[in-house]
């Protein structure tokens, strides 16, 4: 019900805005529709003149033309207004989360420092504030001390809180979000009115949307076509009068009909929808929780042909999973699984849980209640690089191969060569080996591997079909990277990647004419993000990464890059499809109007009136009625976008030509003839 009410409000507001946009300063921004606007004004004047006896055409006919032209302008305004209305609804939702709250401004950057309470709007760049659980973060900033859970649902829509901490790639916080636990000391990185949320609101509601290069180029083409038709139609009035008066053929074409002809010849369909297509594209990106800092970035995403993808979290799950127990010769696999499971019962990491699950799945070994037994759990530390359990006089440990080797040998045990061979084999296969020992005797190895996400290989295949090359970026060694790359089905990979290597890779591809997209979240990603044509920074990342990118993913999901590319391509496909339809429409309208309009002067042209339109009056009225109605009919398509399909540019072009080209050619003939029949039956003309 809430969504229905919201849509109703957007619809009502769009109707109001349609009339508000009739202001000349608004109309002049769209030159193609400006011609229709001026045509509506002139035909209105001609109607008034007809009422007082100065007739160009009959008053009723002129009024009909004037009203239809005004409706054409209103329909074009409505298309833009409804797209903007959606953006304003999103902006209002975001604006509700932006409040002027009290902030604890610290005198020194530490928890025990004295503070003064000031309003968030008074905070300056570089100020340090303390935020505790239950309080709203007053302004964008960087965490300089503390670790806490932050509720970002007001911005991202995700209900689960996220961790923000100092010193890492998850140090950026956004004003308007709420601290759920603990405390944070934050250095302010934005002033009032210039925060991330302020920029987001401006972009979402279209206030900061600038026309993109492709949009400008298309508009120049449409304006050029309109000027050509303006010149052509302007010459028809004196030409027809000369033929009529001097040669004595027929009667001259009226000014009303000349204006109507110009409107029908000009590319008004795409001219009316061009702005709404761009705004709707931005809106679709915002619905995907991605903020584009410019419309250019969305268009660039549609033209991207090289994707740089982080391995961890994008191609793989990000958490290594136990996939196999490899026992030494004198140990059974079940005994190894039993020991590994015992050592992992208290291990709450994803790796530890996966070991318990694998032992259960393979041998039915279930978790056991050790609460009443003499059990000592040994937690993993960066120093020991192992964890385990002391259980009924037994010492069971699992950990990195070199750490276990040192532990076994220090306690008088022997580290077998066979285990070293297994460790090397696992590493060469792209996995991580965990060695298990019981009472200083090595039992075998747990094979941990990065699990490639389900469906990723198919996604990369789809991208390949549309000419996009995928490159995996990872800090792993070349052997591990090669195994994951082969399993995921990427086209290429970069192992042991450094910030300099990423930057060089992007520049190399760009120098060959490619458009490159990448994701990043750390300060070390900033140079490459700044260089990439489409750079999606994670909202959870550092301020440097967010400033370097031209898009920010509010969900901080590295896989979002693929969705961004799809939305960009959908925007270009929608614009191309509707442009094709519009041009084809105009060609059909020429055949509908021109023969009957000039048959009084050149009777031979009646041979081209294969639609058998009743009269020139009926033909022109039918054409401009269709011209107005088709704008309304195409608004849903301009807002929703053409359905995205993975196919090559050539196939996409032919499909567009077949559906929107041929469809745009046939539809006007059918619709204009139908309108002509209705006008004739009801004797409207």
Cα–Cα distance list, 451 to 484, 487, 549 (Å): 9, 9, 28
Domain covering 317-451: architecture: 3-Layer(aba) Sandwich (3.40)
pLDDT digits (tens, 9 = 90+) for 530-570: 888 888 887 766 677 777 888 888 777 766 778 888 888 88
Q: Using alpha carbons only, what angle is made at residue 338 by residues 332 and 339, rounded to the nearest 5 degrees? A: 95
**Residues making up the binding site for Mg(2+):** 521, 525
pLDDT at site 453: 78
Cα separation, 599 vs 533, in Å, equals: 55
Q: 100 an active-site residue? A: no
Burial of 595 (C-beta count, 10 Å sphere; 0-12/13-18/19+):
buried
Each domain of the chain, given as residue ranges in start order, spans 1-89+204-286+566-682, 102-137+140-189, 290-315+453-554, 317-451
Dig out the tokens for 142 from the structure.
């960087």
Dig out the tokens for 522 from the structure.
């750390």
459 sits in which H/E element: helix 456-465
Q: Which CATH number fits domain 290-315+453-554: 3.40.50.2300, 3.30.70.260, 3.40.50.1000, 3.20.20.20?
A: 3.40.50.1000
What SS3 class is residue 576?
A: helix
Q: Which residue in 140, 169, 198, 310 is the catalytic one?
A: 310
Cα–Cα distance list, 498 to 471, 526, 557 (Å): 15, 12, 21
Cα separation, 170 vs 179, in Å, equals: 15
pLDDT at site 426: 87
Side-chain half-sphere of 55: how many Cα atoms within 13 Å? 7
Q: Which residue(s) pair with 432 in the sheet?
A: 448
Q: Which residue(s) pair with 201 in the sheet?
A: none
What are the strands, taking DSSP E only, across 36-182? 102-106, 115-119, 128-132, 141-145, 147-151, 162-165, 172-173, 178-179
Side-chain half-sphere of 348: how many Cα atoms within 13 Å? 0
pLDDT at site 568: 87
Q: What is the DSSP string of 208-242?
A: T----HHHHHHHHHHHHHHHHHHHHHHHHHHHHHH
Give the domain 102-137+140-189 fold. 2.70.150
Please, are residues 467 and 652 in contact by the beta-carbon 8 Å criterion?
Answer: no
pLDDT digits (tens, 9 = 90+) for 625-668: 999 999 999 999 998 888 877 777 678 778 888 899 999 999 99
Alpha helices in 599-646 (DSSP H): 616-640
pLDDT at site 440: 92
Low pLDDT (below 70) residues in the chain: 1-6, 87, 90-99, 154-160, 167-169, 196-197, 199-211, 246-250, 294-295, 312-314, 317-319, 367-373, 382, 522, 540-542, 558-559, 649, 685
């Amino acid at each position: 019900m809430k969504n229905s009410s919201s849509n109703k409000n957007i619809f009502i507001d769009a109707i109001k805005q349609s009339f508000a946009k009739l202001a000349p300063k608004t109309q002049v921004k769209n030159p193609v529709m400006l011609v229709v606007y001026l045509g509506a004004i002139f035909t209105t004047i001609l109607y008034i003149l007809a009422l007082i006896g100065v007739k160009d055409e009959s008053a009723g006919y002129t009024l009909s033309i004037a009203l239809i032209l005004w409706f054409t302008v209103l329909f074009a305004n409505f298309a833009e207004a409804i797209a903007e209305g959606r953006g304003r609804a999103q902006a209002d939702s975001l604006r509700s989360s932006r409040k002027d709250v009290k902030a604890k401004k610290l005198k020194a950057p530490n928890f025990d420092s004295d503070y003064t309470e000031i309003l968030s709007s008074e905070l300056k760049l570089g100020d340090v504030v303390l935020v505790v659980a239950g309080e709203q973060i007053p302004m964008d900033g960087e965490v300089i001390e503390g670790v806490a859970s932050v509720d970002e649902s007001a911005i991202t829509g995700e209900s689960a809180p996220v961790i923000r901490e100092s010193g890492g790639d998850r140090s950026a916080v956004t004003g308007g979000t709420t601290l759920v636990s603990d405390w944070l000391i934050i250095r302010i990185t934005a002033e009032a009115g210039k925060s991330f949320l302020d920029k987001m609101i401006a972009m979402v509601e279209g206030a900061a949307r600038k026309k993109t290069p492709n949009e400008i180029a298309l508009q120049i083409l449409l304006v050029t076509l309109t000027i050509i038709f303006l010149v052509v139609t302007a010459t028809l009035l004196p030409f027809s009068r000369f033929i009529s008066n001097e040669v004595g053929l027929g009667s001259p074409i009226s000014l009303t009909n000349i204006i109507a002809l110009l409107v029908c010849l000009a590319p008004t369909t795409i001219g009316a929808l061009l702005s709404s297509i761009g705004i709707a594209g931005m809106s679709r990106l915002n619905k995907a929780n991605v903020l584009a800092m410019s419309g250019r970035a969305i268009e660039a995403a549609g033209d991207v042909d090289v994707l740089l993808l982080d391995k961890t979290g994008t191609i793989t799950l990000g958490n290594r999973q136990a996939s196999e127990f490899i026992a030494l010769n004198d140990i059974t696999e079940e005994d190894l699984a039993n020991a590994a499971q015992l050592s992992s019962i208290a291990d709450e990491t994803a790796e530890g849980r996966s070991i318990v699950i694998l032992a259960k799945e393979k041998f039915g070994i279930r978790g056991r209640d050790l609460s009443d037994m003499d059990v000592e759990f040994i937690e993993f530390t960066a120093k020991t690089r192992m964890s385990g359990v002391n259980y009924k006089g037994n010492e069971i440990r699992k950990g990195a191969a070199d750490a276990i080797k040192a532990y076994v040998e220090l306690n008088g045990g022997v580290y077998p060569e066979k285990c070293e061979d297994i460790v090397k084999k696992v590493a060469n296969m792209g996995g991580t080996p965990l060695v298990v020992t019981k009472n200083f005797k090595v039992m075998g190895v747990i094979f941990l591997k990065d699990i490639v996400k389900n469906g990723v290989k198919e996604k990369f295949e789809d991208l390949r079909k549309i000419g996009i090359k995928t490159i995996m970026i990872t800090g792993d060694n070349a052997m591990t990277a090669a195994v994951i790359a082969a399993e995921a089905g990427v086209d290429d990979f970069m192992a042991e990647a450094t910030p300099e290597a990423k930057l060089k890779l992007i520049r190399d591809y760009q120098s060959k004419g490619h458009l490159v997209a990448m994701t990043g979240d750390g300060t070390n990603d900033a140079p490459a993000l700044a260089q990439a044509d489409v750079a999606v920074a994670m909202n959870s990342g550092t301020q440097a990464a967010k400033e370097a990118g031209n898009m920010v993913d509010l969900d901080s999901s590295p896989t979002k890059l693929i969705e961004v590319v799809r939305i960009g391509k959908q925007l270009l496909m929608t614009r191309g499809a509707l442009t094709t339809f519009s041009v084809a429409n105009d060609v059909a309208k020429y055949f509908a109007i021109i023969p009957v309009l000039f048959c009084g002067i050149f009777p031979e042209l009646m041979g081209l009136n294969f639609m058998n339109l009743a009269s020139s009056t009926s033909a022109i009225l039918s054409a401009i009625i269709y011209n107005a109605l088709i704008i309304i009919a195409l608004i849903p398509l301009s807002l929703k976008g053409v359905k995205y399909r993975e196919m090559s540019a050539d196939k996409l072009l032919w499909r567009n030509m077949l559906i929107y080209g041929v469809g745009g050619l046939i539809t006007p003939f059918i619709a204009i003839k139908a309108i002509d029949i209705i006008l004739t039956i009801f004797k409207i003309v």
